[in-house]
Amino acid sequence: MRDARWRRSAVLLLALASLAEPVVEMLTTDRAHYVEGAVTAPRPLVEATTGLSNALIPLVAVSVLLAALLWSRVDGVALLLVSLPSLVMTANEFVHGRTVGPSLLLPAFAGVLLVTARVKFEDLRLLGHLGAVVAVGSMLGWLVAPAMVLMSAGLAHAEKSVTGAPLLAGIFSHSNLLGLFLTASLPFAFLERRFLLRWGMALSIAAALVLTSSRTALFGAGVVLGVILVGWLLPRLAFRVVMAGGLVALAIALVQVPFTETDPSAYTERGGIWMYNIGLLPGHWLTGRGAWYYSDNYAQFEAALSSAASHAHNSLLTLRVMGGLVLIGAVLVLLLCVWRGIDGMEDRRHMFVAGAFLLGLLALGVTETTMRFAAWGPLSACFLVPLFVLVSEWRARVAGGRTASAGPVATSALAEQPA
C-alpha cells in the first residue's frame, strides 16, 4: 500500500505541476475581456507559480533517482527512452548555438521520476479522477462564477458552439485546451473498477467536453470511446488487429491531412496554418528551426496568420518545424516502445484503456499539437505521463521475462555441481 501511495504521489506531483499555471491564471484573468494570445493576467504571480512547479520536477526526480540508486537498480534503458526526445532537442539546440534552457529537459526529468518510482499503469486512474474533478468544477463554475470559466464572457465565440451555449474553458485559457485535457483524461476513467464511480466520472467528462464545443476534442473522444467499446466486445487477438489498423489509419492521417490541404480556410483556418508551416521546412528538414521557434517568432506568426498560430496545429508538423526529422525519429522510437508496451499487456482492461489513449492521442494530433517535448505545460501531464509509464512498464516486463527465463537455467547449473 505504501508503494502505491508513493507511485500515485509522483503522478499527482506532475499533474499539479501542469495545472498550477492555468489555475492561477484563471483566478487572476479577466475573462470578460479575454483576447486569445494576449497577456491579461498579472504575470508575476503566474510566472512565480510556473517557476516553482518547474523547479519541483527536477528536484524531486533527481532526489528520488539518487535514493533509488542507493537501494536498488534502475533500468537505464527505460531512463534513456523516456528522455530521448528532450535529449535530442537539447543536443539540436546546442549544436546550432541556440539558447539551451533548463525547461527543455523538464519532460525528461518527469520521465525519470516515473521510471524511478516504478509507476504502474493502474496508477494512472488518478488522471481520470483529475479529469472528472476539472470537468465537474468547470460546470459548477458556470453556475456560480461564469465569468471565470467561459471564454470572452461566453458569447464572443458563439459561432463555434455546437450546442448554442457559451464555450466552456474551465481552468484553461481556451475551450480547446479544456477539451484536449478532458479527452486525454477520459480513457483513464475506465481504469476505475467501481461501476458507479467509473461511469459517473466518464459522463461528467463527456458532458463538459460537449460544452467546450471543441471539434477536435469531440473527435478524439469518439475515437477513445470507440476503442474502449471494441476492447470490451472483441477477443484479445481481434482487438490487436483492430488496434493495428487504427494506428496505421491515424498515422496516415497525421501526414496526409496537413501536407495535402490546399484550402487556407479548411478545418477552421488550419489549412492556412499548415501551408505557412510547410513553407518553413525547406532547408531545415533534418534539424528543424529550433525548440523555441514558435515563441521566439510569435509576432511573425500572429501577423501572418492569427494569434492561434503558436504551433502548427498538427503534431507531426510541429515536431518537424521544431526539431526536424531527427526529433521525429526520437518520438517514433518512443511511440514504438509504447505500442510494444500496450501489445504485451496481460490485463485486458489495461490493454484497451492504453490503446484508447494512444489512438486518441494520434486522433487529436491530426489537427492539434499533443506531443510537446519542450518545457512542462498545462497539458503535459495528461499527454506525456501515460507515454512514459507505458514505456517503463514494458521495460519492466522485458526485464522480468529475462529473469524468469534465466532462473531455471541457473538452478539447473547449480544442481549439477558435485557436492
The residue extents of the domains of the chain are: 2-399
- Give the pLDDT score at 33: 56
Burial class (CB in 10 A: 0-12, 13-18, 19+), 308: middle
- Give the pLDDT score at 411: 36
- Give the pLDDT score at 418: 39
Q: Phi first, then psi: give them for residue 281, nearest 5 degrees.
A: -80, -40
CA distance 146 to 167: 10
Q: Is the dihedral of CA 384, 385, 388, 390 positive or negative?
A: negative
358: which residues sit within 8 A by CB, 6+ positions away? 247, 335, 338, 339, 342
Residue whose entry in the numeric block shows the C-alpha cell 493495428: 244
CA distance 160 to 157: 6
- Residues linked to residue 168 through DSSP beta bridges, in sequence order: 150
Q: Which amino acid is at 296?
A: D
Q: Does the model's pTM come out above 0.75?
A: yes
Q: Phi first, then psi: give them for residue 168, nearest 5 degrees.
A: -90, 120
Q: Are 172 and 21 in contact (CB under 8 A)?
A: no
Residue 305, number of CB atoms within 10 A of its CB: 19
CA separation, residue 250 to residues 257, 367, 416 (Å): 10, 12, 55
- Give the pLDDT score at 326: 96
Q: Are 358 and 342 in contact (CB under 8 A)?
A: yes
- With vertex at residue 346, the alpha carbon angle to CA 205 and CA 406, rounded to the nearest 5 degrees, is 145
Q: Are 305 and 33 in contact (CB under 8 A)?
A: no
Nearest CA to 356 out of 171, 128, 133 is that of 128
Cα 59 → chain centroid: 22
Q: CA dihedral in degrees (274, 277, 281, 285; nearest 10)?
A: -70
Three-class secondary structure of residue 150 per DSSP = strand
- Give the pLDDT score at 405: 56
Three-class secondary structure of residue 190 per DSSP = coil
User: For every one of its 419 residues, what pLDDT tens digit does the chain have, with 9 covering 90 and above?
Assistant: 558 888 999 999 999 999 998 888 888 876 655 555 555 445 677 778 888 888 889 889 988 888 887 777 889 999 999 999 999 999 999 888 887 878 899 999 999 999 999 999 999 999 999 999 999 999 999 999 888 888 764 444 556 777 777 889 999 988 999 999 999 999 999 999 999 999 999 999 999 999 999 999 999 999 999 999 999 999 999 999 999 999 999 999 999 999 999 999 888 889 999 999 999 999 999 999 999 999 888 888 888 886 667 899 999 999 999 999 999 999 999 999 999 999 999 999 999 999 999 999 999 999 999 998 988 999 999 999 999 999 999 999 888 776 555 555 433 333 333 33
Nearest CA to 253 out of 108, 334, 364, 107 is that of 364
CA distance 131 to 184: 8
CA distance 37 to 372: 18
Q: Phi first, then psi: give them for residue 395, nearest 5 degrees.
A: -65, -35
Q: Phi first, then psi: give them for residue 165, nearest 5 degrees.
A: -90, 165
- Give the pLDDT score at 389: 97
